[in-house]
Structure 1
Amino acid sequence: MAIQRFGTPKQGALPFAKAVAAGGFLYVSGQVPRDEKGEIVCGNMLTQAKVTLDNLKKVVESAGYGMQDIVKVEAWIDDPRDFVDFNKVYAQYFSAEHAPARVTVQAEMMSDLRVEVACVAYKAQ
């Protein structure tokens, strides 16, 4: 199967795709709380986590996968005190039945970001 790229950059943008599918796997680049215009959605962790995970879901679904196909999640949060609020939102997107492996680490974020989330999904071909 050929490699497919989704959400490839526009002329002059940073050179990375929102997602790349290869061999049944979908690798989704880090998603952040940006609105449709590309502006950062400011707010607390509850707000930013919801927008971020909505963005992740859109990318996954645009590539023909579903949230149940996600096998690994990587999350970066700016303030470890936001871990509980991040998990409150995260639990709304992943069921116990389809829970992916996950790593969550503290990382200093750029701008006013509180969270970034990337994932790997898989569907048998």
Structure 2
Amino acid sequence: MANVHVIQRNAHLAGPVVVQFVPRPEGRITKATVTAISNSVRGSGETREETATAIQWTLWGSLAENAADFLGRGSHVNIVGRVRNNNYEKDGATVYGMEFTAEEIDYLDTRAEGEARRTQSSDARRPAHADA
């Protein structure tokens, strides 16, 4: 099977990093999923079009753990990974799909920007209290 690499540059995360722990005979491994959106522009002037491409990436092990610790909704990243088919049969019909697995992530935000974004995200999740 051919190994196809995918590079998604100047993307931002559409939501939080979702973390799961997958049991294995050697112990559990961390799995995370992120959805990264890249915008591209074609043409110029009145024919200028902007399109968005969203890819759901799967991250494993320390890559997943670091992403959970340092990334959040809106984080800016470059992602390099591989893609493969994950076709399957359902009710006698073939369902076609693609699976994207990240191998590298470049964090494009400064440490201060990342911390500010995480603080805003955690503040938004806290319920508002009315002062009586």
Which TM-score tier does this pair reach, normalised by the shorter chain?
under 0.3
Higher CA-based Rg = 2
Of structures 1 and 2, the one with the larger relative CO (CA 8 A, separation 6+) is 1
Name the structure where helix makes up a greater proportion of residues: 1
- TM-score, reference length from structure 1: 0.23
